Structure 1
């Protein structure tokens, strides 16, 4: 049971931390925002009840003090002092650290108590943790719920008990050890409580060893929830008034569905194991493959029995329609807000900025955007690396900024938007920017490219050199990062999500990294092309356009070839040559235009075929290390299709 409670707490505790922090940030800019004040109070109040279930006494004291500060502001109608607000943010950050420590180590770090004392001093508090049971109504906004009541509510919710918006009475019945000798029936007494909706039987805190165990002693605690009023429940225990604790829980859902009674949530949301969603998504992908197979069967039947082929095409159309709706439903089911995945970023920005001695204003926009859970699970690390680079080497220190007429505080912003079938995550700063000439020189010095080739690179192409493994322009490597160190890891992480990175920078004004990631991680839209007599899949999101030109319009340029498309010269490669197969040639050149290093590149293919939705699986074994191969897909006729990664192939 404790493992289940811990799992639930790690999820909901972090959500409450994010809520409290968001409301406190709003209060910093809008001191009279009553809704933000109430929201911060609710989140911290609920969080305090949750941490009471675990060995986090110091954090409970800290949250109690934070709650008192917020309660005073609510009661007096006053705005929070700047120093108090900073201490509240620090207290929430400290709680966030404690949750991480609890997950990682199973306990708080040895110095957690000392850290808490510092924040308590800044809050001007000497809070005591007096949250014991009470024989009376204990409502929201007073001293908080005793831990046993919060734990009871959490267990009831985990058992799928509907807790909606209502007033419940929680009871904790601790029978006397000798109750059986008096003829008492504790289970019968508890079961007779009117409107009982949940009952738990728990062992007492300590049970004697088997050697000294007394089988006729009662060693059970009974805890339950009833919809009946407190006085009615008290009446059910009228014969044992000294053995019962009662609490009234006013369960009130806010706009996010959170409840004020501990870490208890409403029945509107069902948590589903992520592995089950992954399995469901794979099955939907297989269904798409089956629909493709039926289309292939219809084409084969056309030659032998046109009537049967027509029936098969009709069935295939119905299956396509149904699988399309199912695919859309599962895709929506897998979409989750990015906020929980990014909740730690504000704290980490503050910590890193403090460690490098740079004042920074951090803004996070669009974090409520919903993305596929695979993206939400994988996006934190690459974003954190971009943030570290920006803070350590992108943004200047205060005196340097002042010397060039900038605000002393650097600006670091993450903006998340939807653009068609993509989510675009932009990380931008107003720092020193990146110098393309310096990047070119560094690449040449490291032997990455010849000087002649470096000179031919455009500025946008030069900026992309920072994505190469091991590249750095930092004069010294720090514990935080060096501008460019590990950027190949960011590139790899985004490519695993079938995404791409755009980089722009203005020397002296800052840098911008835009991560473009597909919203749908279940199936991939592919264009099937031919190279020689073989077929390959190309993700549609890697294709800028397709074109047909006369083969005579392809010209030799230096040691390569190029053509003119839309009044610009575009380098051209033969896909057959890149893959080592014999090209078919012809008077008409069919082109697939993609982007590599921020520039358009054309690939000549020997033919276009159909567009399909396919389940693309990562390459295994030798396929996993082949350059330019993103994975495989199964076609309707049973053929395994190699799916290409065009930017890597031509890069």
Structure 2
């Protein structure tokens, strides 16, 4: 139970920290924004209440003091920039502690001192709150509860509970196995004219037969407003009967991953029906059986496709939890470099497959670190060039068909292609004549070469030999691509183009010599047979006439090391679009067309050029799916 509560606390805690940080960013620009102030107060109040379930006294004390400061500001106390700076630091410190809890299971050493320092910045001497009523010392269980066995609950909401976003009735209703409930006023109601509809004047008392940890979990957000007493040894809660169906269901991610894996295996298994149908049609009188098998395969194709697409949508999660981790990290990196940087987030609601989100943190952090260190200039340099002292970095995401585009853009010094060429030559990565012949786009791509770095010295942030090649390898491992755009003095953009979900990819299976390969059907414009008299030798290559237009003809077998197609009166050709041009690829045979789950390469083969990934055929053989664009690049 404790482990489950901690896991839930970490998930909810990060969301609340992100919410508070966003509201504080609004308040930094407009201190009078009442909605942002209320939102920040609710987030910190909820987070503070959750700490009561665990041994997190330093965190709870600091958040309590932050809540007091926000309550005072909401009550009309003038707020200065130092107040919001102290609140931002408290939220950042909470985020660091959440990292420590996830990593080590406990707050790090020195947490008490850090908490006391944060409280001092708020102008408070300790973590106690003067805005909340003390628990009633002489609480007596109501006589209506006599004879009941379980845990008695007394919940006295704060007078400003509604402003904090609390719904006392909903909170008490969430307690499992309620046996009795009594609602009464805390103070006399008085006359109707004096009634304040915005003040909570309730006392909620109840008895539950659920185990105490479950009761505490249900009341964790208002733990400082609740008293519990044991009426008798608690017994297990009876199984609920009838109840309304829930609209959401929290499922362990491993179970969803297992379901996705089974859906992938089902795609592979159903492909074998085509071979069975072909074998059946070869038998005497088996034509009818073969056709029936093909009909069943077509029906199964539709069902499996729908199942795979549905499982893919179940795995979609918003990028917000990932994006919201970066503002504090960027502030920490900028502070270590004596820079001031603001991180803007766009497209947080964009949904991407969970497996991709889980593996994006490290490459994005690497790119953001480079943007702060190499991109954004020092304050003095920015002033001299007429820029604002505070640098700006934008982390954005947007859907693009079945893919998602994620960009990190800074307004820093940009990239000089000439310097990139010079550094690459100095480090022995390319020959001088090769570097000179490279265009600006190709020169910028040298940044992804292993061993490339422009750092002049080793620091805590960069210059340790871990370069952008790691970022490209990570993007390739996710089935995507990464590129860098920029020019001197005009900032830099690093763009990731990644699959949004694990969709089925239509693949054409072709033969080159004894080997089989796959080609994404989306890359193939047309297939044709080209007779020898239409093929012409052109310098060191070949070309053929396709609808009265000459197209280059390339042996796909030679590109993949399988040799040229066997001599025949005509050659099988795939006409593919490479950029803005059509190119013909000669193959030995076109075997089949299938819907496949293409998985990116990993391990030693991760990032291998010319290969999108692999899939598995019905006979268990591994099929490499080729990237025609990279093969001819």
Instruction: Give distance in 1, aligned partners of 2:470 and 2:335.
Output: 25
Instruction: Give distance in 1, aligned partners of 2:30 and 2:604.
Output: 58
Deviations 1:340-366 (A, max 9, x none): 123220000111111111111210111
Residue 270 of structure 2: which of 288, 291, 294 is its match? 291
Secondary structure at the counterpart of residue 199 of structure 1: coil
Is the contact between residue 338 and residue 371 of structure 1 (CA under 8 Å) also seen in structure 2? yes
- Could you tell me how far 1:507 is from its partner in structure 2? 1.0
Deviations 1:64-104 (A, max 9, x none): 1111122233333x774322122111111111111111222
1:74-223 alignment, distance < 5 Å: 74-76=74-76, 80-129=79-128, 133-134=135-136, 135=139, 137-140=155-158, 161=176, 198-200=209-211
- Could you tell me how far 1:573 is from its partner in structure 2? 5.8
Secondary structure at the counterpart of residue 581 of structure 1: coil
Secondary structure at the counterpart of residue 379 of structure 1: helix
- Could you tell me how far 1:55 is from its partner in structure 2? 2.2
Is the contact between residue 295 and residue 636 of structure 1 (CA under 8 Å) also seen in structure 2? no
1:427-506 alignment, distance < 5 Å: 427-482=408-463, 485-506=466-487
Are the structure 2 counterparts of residues 116 and 624 from structure 1 closer, same or farther at C-alpha, using a change threshold of 3 Å? closer
Residue 616 of structure 1: which of 598, 616, 625 is its match? 598
Instruction: Give distance in 1, aligned partners of 2:374 and 2:551.
Output: 35
TM norm structure 1: 0.75
- Counterpart in the other structure of 2:148: none
- Counterpart in the other structure of 2:280: 301
Is the contact between residue 20 and residue 91 of structure 2 (CA under 8 Å) also seen in structure 1? yes
State how many pairs are aligned: 559
1:10-25 alignment, distance < 5 Å: 10-25=10-25
Are the structure 2 counterparts of residues 108 and 637 from structure 1 closer, same or farther at C-alpha, using a change threshold of 3 Å? closer
- Counterpart in the other structure of 1:377: 358
Is the contact between residue 556 and residue 562 of structure 1 (CA under 8 Å) also seen in structure 2? no
Instruction: Give distance in 1, aligned partners of 2:58 and 2:14.
Output: 18
- Counterpart in the other structure of 1:173: none
Are the structure 2 counterparts of residues 309 and 399 from structure 1 closer, same or farther at C-alpha, using a change threshold of 3 Å? same
- Could you tell me how far 1:466 is from its partner in structure 2? 0.8
Residue 249 of structure 2: which of 270, 279, 283 is its match? 270
- Could you tell me how far 1:485 is from its partner in structure 2? 4.3
Are the structure 2 counterparts of residues 442 and 624 from structure 1 closer, same or farther at C-alpha, using a change threshold of 3 Å? closer
Q: In the alignment, is residue 526 of structure 1 matched against residue 507 of structure 2?
A: yes
- Counterpart in the other structure of 2:73: 73
Are the structure 2 counterparts of residues 398 and 547 from structure 1 closer, same or farther at C-alpha, using a change threshold of 3 Å? farther
Instruction: Give distance in 1, aligned partners of 2:466 and 2:545.
Output: 37
Instruction: Give distance in 2, aligned partners of 1:419 and 1:494.
Output: 16
- Counterpart in the other structure of 1:644: 626
- Counterpart in the other structure of 1:590: 574
Is the contact between residue 182 and residue 206 of structure 2 (CA under 8 Å) also seen in structure 1? no
- Could you tell me how far 1:468 is from its partner in structure 2? 1.1
More moved, 637-646 vs 48-57? 637-646
Are the structure 2 counterparts of residues 509 and 452 from structure 1 closer, same or farther at C-alpha, using a change threshold of 3 Å? same
Instruction: Give distance in 2, aligned partners of 1:545 and 1:71.
Output: 65
Secondary structure at the counterpart of residue 283 of structure 1: helix
Instruction: Give distance in 2, aligned partners of 1:309 and 1:36.
Output: 67
- Counterpart in the other structure of 1:355: 336
Instruction: Give distance in 2, aligned partners of 1:619 and 1:485.
Output: 21
More moved, 477-486 vs 371-380? 477-486
Is the contact between residue 498 and residue 517 of structure 1 (CA under 8 Å) also seen in structure 2? yes
- Could you tell me how far 1:385 is from its partner in structure 2? 0.2
- Could you tell me how far 1:580 is from its partner in structure 2? 1.6
- Could you tell me how far 1:517 is from its partner in structure 2? 0.4
Secondary structure at the counterpart of residue 583 of structure 1: coil
Instruction: Give distance in 2, aligned partners of 1:612 and 1:622.
Output: 27
Instruction: Give distance in 2, aligned partners of 1:31 and 1:278.
Output: 45
Instruction: Give distance in 2, aligned partners of 1:563 and 1:33.
Output: 69
Are the structure 2 counterparts of residues 545 and 16 from structure 1 closer, same or farther at C-alpha, using a change threshold of 3 Å? farther
Unpaired runs of 5+ residues, structure 2, are: 140-153, 163-167, 184-203, 220-225, 234-244
- Counterpart in the other structure of 2:389: 408
Are the structure 2 counterparts of residues 421 and 636 from structure 1 closer, same or farther at C-alpha, using a change threshold of 3 Å? same
- Counterpart in the other structure of 1:206: none
- Could you tell me how far 1:52 is from its partner in structure 2? 2.0
More moved, 445-454 vs 492-501? 445-454
Unpaired runs of 5+ residues, structure 1, are: 145-149, 170-192, 203-220, 227-232, 245-265
- Counterpart in the other structure of 1:187: none
- Counterpart in the other structure of 1:633: 615
Is the contact between residue 116 and residue 126 of structure 2 (CA under 8 Å) also seen in structure 1? no
Are the structure 2 counterparts of residues 537 and 6 from structure 1 closer, same or farther at C-alpha, using a change threshold of 3 Å? same
Instruction: Give distance in 1, aligned partners of 2:625 and 2:182.
Output: 57
Are the structure 2 counterparts of residues 621 and 102 from structure 1 closer, same or farther at C-alpha, using a change threshold of 3 Å? closer
Is the contact between residue 509 and residue 518 of structure 2 (CA under 8 Å) also seen in structure 1? yes
Deviations 1:368-411 (A, max 9, x none): 21110001100111000000101111111111112222222211
- Could you tell me how far 1:198 is from its partner in structure 2? 4.9
Deviations 1:192-232 (A, max 9, x none): x9985552157xxxxxxxxxxxxxxxxxx997989xxxxxx
